[in-house]
Each structure stands twice: as C-alpha cells, then as structure tokens.
Amino acid sequence: MEIKELGHLVLYVRNLERSAAFYRDVLGWRQVFPEPDGANTLGIPAAAFSSGRTHHELLLIEVGEGAAALPRGRRVGLYHFGLKVGDSDDELRAVLAQIAEAGVQIAGASDHTVTHSLYIYDPDGNEIELYVDVPGVDWRNNPALIAAPIRPLRL
C-alpha cells in the first residue's frame, strides 16, 4: 500500500451551526454540504467543507452541547491539524489580521524553518495550525530541516 495524500478530517462538534460558521466565515472554507441554508439529507447533523482540492476535506458532525471537552496537555489522540493558507509571510500576516478582526485568539506562533505557523483553537477546542511553507527551503534534499529547532515567529 502507498498513501497518496491525506483525504479528509472528521471532527465531532458541540454545535454544528457555530462550528460551520467558524470554518466557513472565519477560515474561509467553502461549505459543500449542505449548502448554507440548504437541506441536510444525510440524516444526521453534519456539514462538509472543501478547499476545492477534492469533494470534501473536512466533515463536522454535531454531538451536542453536553459532549465532553478535549483535555489539555499530554494525552492520546489528535494534537492539531495544519491548514496551508498561502505561500508567503505577507499572506500569513493577512491571515493574522483577518482572524484577529474575527476575535480569534492566537494560541501560538512558530518558525519551524520549513513553515511559519500560527496556532488557534476552533469553538470546540481543536487546535489548528495555519501555515505557509517558507520559500527556498529545500527539505526534500535536506530532510533534517523538518526537525529543525522551533524558534519564535517574527512576522
């Protein structure tokens, strides 16, 4: 077997309307199912999103307000997922301004040598890395760069 690419991510959320608005209106994902204000024919409260690369890259499934919160710190399971938001620090600065305007708090910012990254949380506490690949970094010919020491990001 050979994995060709990461296809999609499915997240349980407490409130589908709130989470769909975050991913659609704040992060700019295109909602493909149901269309905003459209009928849900799936039979469960769910919404799918795509960047246009494939049919869907994110699926949200509502589990209700009583669902347990994700514990912080060291635990088994998803730590965060990364979303590429551009190809330059100028684009990352624009993302920073946009999410700040939307009231999204920055959880962290890192220079990983191969990427420049901002970290945020969605309404349910899932950590998201918003990143750009650093131009000119040749990690294919020097894979050690992927594990370079993390430095503070200076935008």
Per DSSP, the three-state class of 33 is: strand
Q: What is the percent of the chain with per-residue pLDDT over 90, rounded to a whole number?
A: 84
In a domain, 15, yes or no: yes
Predicted local distance difference test score (pLDDT) of residue 11: 97
Same domain flag for 135 and 91: yes
123-151 mean pLDDT:
96
Does one domain contain both 93 and 143? yes
Q: pTM, whole model, 2 decimals?
A: 0.92
- Does residue 2 belong to any structural domain of this protein? no
Predicted pLDDT of residue 145: 96
Give a yes or no: residue 99 inside a domain: yes
Query: Do 85 and 147 reside in the same domain of the chain?
Result: yes
On whether residue 67 sits in a domain, the answer given is no
- Domain total of the chain: 2
Is 31's pLDDT higher than 70? yes
Look at 31-45, 51-65, 101-115 and tell me which has the smallest mean pLDDT.
31-45
Is 73 part of any domain? no
Q: What is the pLDDT of residue 43?
A: 76
CA 6 to CA 53: how far, in whole Å? 11
3-state secondary structure 38-93: CCCCCCCCEEEEECCCCCCCEEEEECCCCCCCCCCCCCCCCCEEEEEEECCHHHHH
Does the residue 4 lie in any domain? no
Per-residue pLDDT, 47: 95
Output the pLDDT for position 15.
97
Is residue 132 in some structural domain? yes
Q: CATH no. for residue 27?
A: 3.10.180.10
Give the structural domain span for 56: 9-62
How do residues 73-115 score in pLDDT, each as one tens digit? 888 888 999 999 999 999 999 999 999 999 999 999 999 999 9
97 and 41 in one domain?
no
> What is residue 113's three-state secondary structure?
coil
